[in-house]
Structure 1
Amino acid sequence: MRILEELRGEGLIEADAHGVRPGPTVAEQLAFAWPVEGPVGEAEVLAAADRLSPEIAGARARIGVVGGRAWQASFYPNPTLDVESENLRPGNGDFGVSQSTIGLSQPIIVSDRRDAAIASGLAYVSAERLELEATRRRVHGAIRRELREVAYLREAIERHEVLRDIAERTLEIASARFEVRAAPESETIRARVEYNSLGIAIDRLRGDLAVSAERLAAHLGGRGVPLARVVVAPVPRHWSLPPLEELAASVRSTHPAVLAALARVEGAQREVDLERAHRYPDVTARIGVGVDHLDDRGFIEAGVEVPLPILNANEGNILAARFSVIERRERLNAVTSELLGRLGEAYRRWESAAGRLAAFEENVLNDAQRAYDQAKDGYEAGSLAFLDLLDAQRTLTEASIAQVELLRVVSHSLADIHEVVDEPFNHLNATGDAP
């Protein structure tokens, strides 16, 4: 049957003289190891997920489950062999009856039950293949998001270290002025608090980076990721995305989860046909040969057994199957709505954050840096108070961290959009850094 060839081609089954059995797992087929040296990019991590992710492996196995059922639906009923020896002893002096028979019975499918069962099974195989792709997209999306988080954390750590260097210079200035009795000790204490606070923030960010490594490992079946060698593309800043309505139309027509739900609707419709076919039970034909021991003469017997669907016409199962179609259609609507909701939310987050980021970088960050430089020069010259310098430093710190946070929202939003709508990311128009 074609389904067997397809399953064999996908590496899900293997056959030999002992029959058909599940093929080796992906992990067994491909011994996986990270490169010994050199960078590990996003593509390598996603390829590792295809081999190691339990979610993807489970989705692949479900294809085998429904494929096996579709194959089973193609078989005809087995014949029955019966052997009988009959010996009736009379009680009135007659000779009685003594005979032996051997017969063969074969159920005959008189409806389109087999065709309907095969059609239903193949529809569900198609659904599970699409569900595998949806699972891959979901796992890949989670990994991309985590890689964007790694990029954010690295950028945040680097930015905090720069700010800590600035705070250290401020502390040195305050300490030098305190030593010559040009400033009170409180200025030194405040500067030290700012410096130590940034150090604590760096430690927290490094801890978050370790957490991200654990999350990535969870998507890879527990296989650790060499995070120090993982190269994440720069955080994208200014992208030109297609309109939301265009992306939503793409979701409705091409997303594998939507197509899988649609295939399950088709499978449910085929199940209605299957239950209707069950209204007409199989006819059983029997032929046998025997020997009458009274005269040792042979005989042939034949017969047909026809069940009469008078009391049970399978109406209950037909009704249940029709409701199953309704349920699958509503599930299709639910899947589509959930994806469109996620897309709309991510798109609006990206739209808002990208606009704020552009304005922030143009109007706020440069001014904060210039204000700090002027305050530092003024404080060293004695024309500005220490509080003015500290306020300028805090403003620069807040502005720098806010920029990184906006970059985080932009990159996470793009990762979320990419998970829902894959195709437009092949031709995005970048006006800033490429992801």
Structure 2
Amino acid sequence: MPPRSNPLACALVAVVLAAASGAPAVRAQTAAPANAPVLTLADALDLAGSASPNIDAADAGVRAASAARRVAGLRPNPSLNADIENVGGSRAYNDIEAPKQTVSVGVPVELGGKRSARIALADAQGNRAQIERVAAGADLRLAVTQAYVEAVAADRRLATARDQAAIAAEAVRAAHVRVQAGRASPLEEQRAEVLRISADAAVDRTVRLADLARVNLGRRIGRPVTGALDQPWFDRVDGYGPAPLDADSSLTVATARADEKAAEAQLRLARSQRLPDVTLSAGVRRLPINNDMAAVFGVSVPLPFFNSGASSVAQAGAERDRATALRRAAELENEQAIGQAQADVANAAAAARTAAGPSLAAAQEAARIARIGYREGKFGQLDLLEAERTLAETRSSAIDALAAFHDAQAQLDRLTASARKD
């Protein structure tokens, strides 16, 4: 015979239905106003680009490299020489009219292609600075994306924790009604009270973590994050993976190759410096005897007796060999890292689809059945609480899986970022 309805059962049903319907109300309280603009990931990246000190440092490095290129193309400055001969001597040379005055200009002449070697080295270093600028942008994109993912996930966790706290509070009231009516043991009310206290403590912890996540994101973008975040973007899993990319254009390989080219240019400069430069001079000399003028020409050549430049060439050659070996290692490690990252993204996507799809749907259906069964007197309170707890844990697992997917995707995007981008 089906159980008869009574006022106690009606009150209990009302309490349970309030617990089941309390989650949307809690989420509405945590959501931003309807007219508040949503801060998307693209917006966060745009804001972060203008507020990042790392980008400013990379831009300064590019300007410094450009200035170094102009310096490398300059020729040596000439020198002005003034000589007075035959001053303060004896006999005839003691006369103030005896000294000879000579004024000449010396012009260094670089040999061995030193200027072109300096320019080649400056160009290689400038290319390295440009790659560092692109790498700084890619690093910033990764950091902002990770901060954004954590902020969205923290908001989701907070909503789940508040839902669970609301359900626990309603369960305490339901247990109290049953105990007062003599239909349940006081232990049931105490058990529900313990769960409520734990749920409230979880809300407090989650609030602090959510606030911290928003503060961290705000530091990255240069302004407080008070509005809503892009929740639909967080739920999207399809279409993962980067576009096909030439391995030569990846930042890791491009950086290693730029270092190798700079080392080769440094070796060329070291070789060119083995040939001494010549200084040519020309001037005029006044002869005090008859006040005549005479032309003076000269040449100066350093003698490389002690430092022939061989050691500098050997050092530059070793540095070039080291850069070549590091470039080969970077190519191998980059391919391995990209392959691992692609596998991580695929695994994370599969886990996110399962956790946010079939698993979550099954938990929601189980909770719905438990509520109906509790309303009809077929299930006890523990069955209902277990179903609600499982649903909350499944929601948390889904959030973690989605966050892991977006983090893995961001890591892959960083590894495959092209050095040819602006």
Give the TM-score of the pair, scaled to structure 1.
0.79
Instruction: Show CA shifts across 1:374-422 (max 9, x none).
Output: 3334344444343333332322222222122212211221222222225
Check 1:224–1:106 CA distance in 2 against 1; reply closer, same or farther (3 A cut). same
Q: What percent of counterpart residues are identical?
A: 23
State how far apart, in whole Å, the 2-side matches of 1:206 and 1:345 are.
Answer: 35
1:78 and 2:77 correspond: yes
Check 1:209–1:343 CA distance in 2 against 1; reply closer, same or farther (3 A cut). farther
- 1:41 counterpart residue number: 40
1:128 and 2:123 correspond: no
Contact 2:279–2:301 (CA<8 Å) still a contact in 1?
Answer: yes
Residue identity opposite 1:76 in structure 2: R
1:400 and 2:401 correspond: no
1:151 and 2:113 correspond: no
State how far apart, in whole Å, the 1-side matches of 2:246 and 2:318 are.
Answer: 26
Q: CA RMSD in A?
A: 2.7
Could you tell me how far 1:232 is from its partner in structure 2?
A: 5.4
Residue identity opposite 2:39 in structure 1: V
Check 1:402–1:134 CA distance in 2 against 1; reply closer, same or farther (3 A cut). same
SS at match of 1:239: coil
State how far apart, in whole Å, the 1-side matches of 2:332 and 2:224 are.
Answer: 35
Could you tell me how far 1:202 is from its partner in structure 2?
A: 2.7
- 2:381 counterpart residue number: 386
Query: Given the alignment, which residue of 270, 275, 281 partners 2:270?
Result: 275
What are structure 2's unaligned runs of at least 5 residues? 1-34
State how far apart, in whole Å, the 2-side matches of 1:174 and 1:410 are.
Answer: 40
Structure 1 window deviating more from structure 2 (143-152 vs 310-319): it is 310-319
SS at match of 2:85: strand
SS at match of 2:58: helix
Could you tell me how far 1:79 is from its partner in structure 2?
A: 0.7
Check 1:348–1:196 CA distance in 2 against 1; reply closer, same or farther (3 A cut). farther
Could you tell me how far 1:237 is from its partner in structure 2?
A: 4.4
Contact 1:113–1:278 (CA<8 Å) still a contact in 2?
Answer: yes
Structure 1 window deviating more from structure 2 (165-174 vs 108-117): it is 165-174
Residue identity opposite 2:143 in structure 1: A
- 1:262 counterpart residue number: 257
1:302 and 2:301 correspond: no
- 1:318 counterpart residue number: 313
Structure 1 window deviating more from structure 2 (80-89 vs 126-135): it is 80-89
- 2:189 counterpart residue number: 188
Residue identity opposite 2:105 in structure 1: L
State how far apart, in whole Å, the 2-side matches of 1:100 and 1:409 are.
Answer: 83
- 2:5 counterpart residue number: none
Check 1:257–1:82 CA distance in 2 against 1; reply closer, same or farther (3 A cut). same
Residue identity opposite 2:310 in structure 1: E
Could you tell me how far 1:135 is from its partner in structure 2?
A: 0.7
1:178 and 2:184 correspond: no
Check 1:94–1:400 CA distance in 2 against 1; reply closer, same or farther (3 A cut). closer
Instruction: Show CA shifts across 1:148-173 (max 9, x none).
Output: 11221222222333333333333332
SS at match of 2:49: helix
SS at match of 1:52: coil
Could you tell me how far 1:361 is from its partner in structure 2?
A: 4.7
State how far apart, in whole Å, the 2-side matches of 1:343 and 1:193 are.
Answer: 48
- 2:287 counterpart residue number: 292
Could you tell me how far 1:344 is from its partner in structure 2?
A: 4.1
Check 1:43–1:392 CA distance in 2 against 1; reply closer, same or farther (3 A cut). closer
Check 1:71–1:145 CA distance in 2 against 1; reply closer, same or farther (3 A cut). same
Give the structure with higher Rg (CA). Answer: 2
State how far apart, in whole Å, the 2-side matches of 1:127 and 1:360 are.
Answer: 44
Contact 2:264–2:320 (CA<8 Å) still a contact in 1?
Answer: yes
Instruction: Show CA shifts across 1:184-226 (max 9, x none).
Output: 1221222233233233223322222222233224334xx3233
State how far apart, in whole Å, the 2-side matches of 1:179 and 1:345 are.
Answer: 60
State how far apart, in whole Å, the 2-side matches of 1:233 and 1:294 are.
Answer: 99
SS at match of 1:107: strand
- 1:219 counterpart residue number: 220
Instruction: Show CA shifts across 1:26-65 (max 9, x none).
Output: xxxxxxxxxx973433222212222220001001101112
State how far apart, in whole Å, the 1-side matches of 2:358 and 2:47 are.
Answer: 42
State how far apart, in whole Å, the 2-side matches of 1:43 and 1:241 are.
Answer: 17
Residue identity opposite 2:129 in structure 1: E
Give the TM-score of the pair, scaled to structure 2.
0.81
Equivalent residues in 2 for 1:229-268, closer than 5 Å = 229-231=228-230, 233-241=232-240, 250=245, 252-268=247-263
State how far apart, in whole Å, the 1-side matches of 2:331 and 2:204 are.
Answer: 42
Residue identity opposite 1:215 in structure 2: N
State how far apart, in whole Å, the 2-side matches of 1:370 and 1:231 are.
Answer: 27
Check 1:357–1:78 CA distance in 2 against 1; reply closer, same or farther (3 A cut). closer
Residue identity opposite 1:352 in structure 2: N
State how far apart, in whole Å, the 2-side matches of 1:169 and 1:275 are.
Answer: 81
Alignment size in residue pairs: 381
Could you tell me how far 1:280 is from its partner in structure 2?
A: 0.9
Check 1:260–1:87 CA distance in 2 against 1; reply closer, same or farther (3 A cut). same
Residue identity opposite 2:73 in structure 1: S
Check 1:418–1:78 CA distance in 2 against 1; reply closer, same or farther (3 A cut). same
Contact 1:128–1:260 (CA<8 Å) still a contact in 2?
Answer: no
Check 1:384–1:340 CA distance in 2 against 1; reply closer, same or farther (3 A cut). same
Could you tell me how far 1:240 is from its partner in structure 2?
A: 4.4
- 2:6 counterpart residue number: none
Residue identity opposite 1:61 in structure 2: A
What are structure 1's unaligned runs of at least 5 residues? 1-35, 424-435
